[in-house]
Amino acid sequence: MGKEKGFALSSIRARDMRRFLEHHGYRVVPGQHKHVKLRHEHHAEVLLPLRPGDNLSHVALKQIAAAMGLTPDDLVREVK
């Protein structure tokens, strides 16, 4: 009953998602975090890994899609 290690990764990289989110009104919150925190005026906050070349997990995609009011499949289509 522990935390499972190694989530399946999507084909979306953190840098591509950050570019997409910033294009849609998200702004980076200043501070020292283990992740980049992005905030939007009308949507929930989003966390991305600091390393831009990292692929996002499917769990992260679901959380970002929920914050934006999209389905994960719609989000992936829009980012690509």
Each of the 80 residues of the chain gets a pLDDT tens digit; together they read 445 455 678 889 999 999 999 999 999 998 777 889 999 999 999 989 888 888 998 899 999 999 999 999 999 999 88
- pLDDT at residue number 1: 44
State pTM to two decimals: 0.82
Q: Which residue in the block uniquely carries the two structure tokens 């499972």? A: 4
Per-residue model confidence (pLDDT) at position 2: 45
d(CA 25, CA 78): 15
Return the sign of the alpha-carbon dihedral for residues 3, 77, 20, 72: negative
Domains assigned to the chain: 9-79 (3.30.920.30)
